[in-house]
Amino acid sequence: MRPHRLRSTLITALMLATATVSATTSATAHTSTAPASATAASSLSALTELFAERLLLADKVAAAKYGTESPIDDPARERQILDDVAARAAGLGLDPDSVTAVFRDQIEANKLVQRGLYARWDAHPDERPTERPDLAKEVRPALDLITTRLLTALQETAPVRADASCEPRLYAAATGSAYEHRLDVLHLRGLGRALPSVCSTD
């Protein structure tokens, strides 16, 4: 199937990107022990798994809004989310600006997927959703749960995210999550959009 081939190609590209970035941080990587590397990759996988889960919920958000007057962009809702995570980040001992940046990327990734689905459904009416999820009662509570889990994961991965080897490990974790969730091309693009602010190295 063509989608499968495209997915495999993009996953391979992610792996190649990981190898390229790894080469630029080889000196740092050589100073780390193998168990420490495995632990770091595993901890970052906790983040990329949640990113993937959140992206898949974008399908339900899009299905809830498609064909209605509810826009994909919802600045008031986005500000509410970002203000909430900034306040909660401070309580967890995290930098509110860094956490806000991560969540802003999640929102933009989610909207990227929604726009892609809208375009797909406009072009192929037979693929349009046949059911409309309840945004308030079903979808947003699930997103809120992921938000809480993400904040915990960001707290637990703070040392890894500040390490010079964060970026290659992050892309390796993202590749694994993409494969695990069998993300298609659109959701792979979304996953890529979700990653830029995770590593807090200078």
pLDDT, residue 12, reads: 52
Among candidates 32, 67, 40, which has minimal Cα distance to 160?
40
DSSP 127: G
Structure token digits, residue 20: 């390229």
Distances (CA, A) of 111 to 14, 26, 54, 191: 21, 35, 11, 12
Q: In the prediction, which pLDDT does 70 show?
A: 93
Phi, psi of 83 (to 5 degrees): -65, -40
Nearest CA among 76, 66, 40, 47 for reference residue 152: 47
pLDDT of residue 190: 98
**Which pLDDT value is given to residue 40?**
58
Which portions of the chain are predicted below pLDDT 70? 1-42, 201-202
User: pLDDT digit string (tens) for 29-66?
Assistant: 444 444 445 555 668 999 999 999 999 999 999 999 99
DSSP state of 128: S
Q: Which two tokens stand for residue 17?
A: 């990107």
